[in-house]
Amino acid sequence: MKKRTCSIVISENKVTLYFVRHGETQYNVERRMQGFCDSPLTEKGILQAKSVGKGLSNIPFIAAYSSDSQRVQDTAKYAIGDRDIPLVIDKRLKEMNFGVLEALLEDEIPKLHGDALEKLFSLDINASAPEGESYAQLFTRTEEAVKEIVEKHASEGGNILIFSHGVTIGNYIIQVTKSKEFQVHENCSVSVISYENGQLNVEKIADTSYRNEGSKQLT
């Protein structure tokens, strides 16, 4: 567990955020760059979403938030199922904008744009795809959204679902923990961050146990 003083908000009561990456999509299968562009969940992706929802079913949630990308909204709806959890759509939780690399196959990018992908994956805070946004810009909007969510629920406390994207979630964790290591977030993996008494605690990163346990219960 990583702890640090929380500079963005002081929560009166413990607020725990469960960040969930969306389920597998068609572009994931094809290995296309998928940021602002979108593609539908595959059958496997739908099952992953239902599975992570099942795996989280014993945890009481007071609210849920989702990126405005359709793949994430669909993941949220499959995961929440018939549970009475209000869902709010927030475009600031969207994936990184990959600019001219959007929808391109990863293998064809070197031929079209040289070392653009290599530079992007360097994780330099100011790195960006051509005509895309930088990690710093991505963090600014993500942090703004998370701050508002935590402040909104600070007086009551509780558990909150946030459905988003792999790079968005991973970059947020890197920036708030000052880490140099990016952990791959599998589809429907869960990262848990809590806020309490001015402390931000990273409790889980890219944990697949909720999805895996839920899958066992569904089959």
Active site residues: 22, 95
Q: Is 28 annotated as a binding residue?
A: yes
Cα–Cα distance measured from residue 150 to residue 157, given in angstroms and rounded to the nearest whole number: 9
Q: Is 71 annotated as a binding residue?
A: yes
Q: Is 24 annotated as a binding residue?
A: yes
Q: Is 21 annotated as a binding residue?
A: yes
Amino acid at 178: K
Q: Is 22 annotated as a binding residue?
A: yes
Cα–Cα distance measured from residue 162 to residue 146, given in angstroms and rounded to the nearest whole number: 9
Q: Is 25 annotated as a binding residue?
A: yes
Regarding beta strands 158-164 and 199-207, do their DSSP bridges make them parallel or antiparallel, or are they unpaired? unpaired
Torsion 24-25-28-34 (CA) sign: negative
Structure tokens at 210: 């909720």
Q: Is 53 annotated as a binding residue?
A: no
Which residues are documented as binding site for substrate?
A: 21-28, 71
Which residues are documented as binding site?
A: 21-28, 71
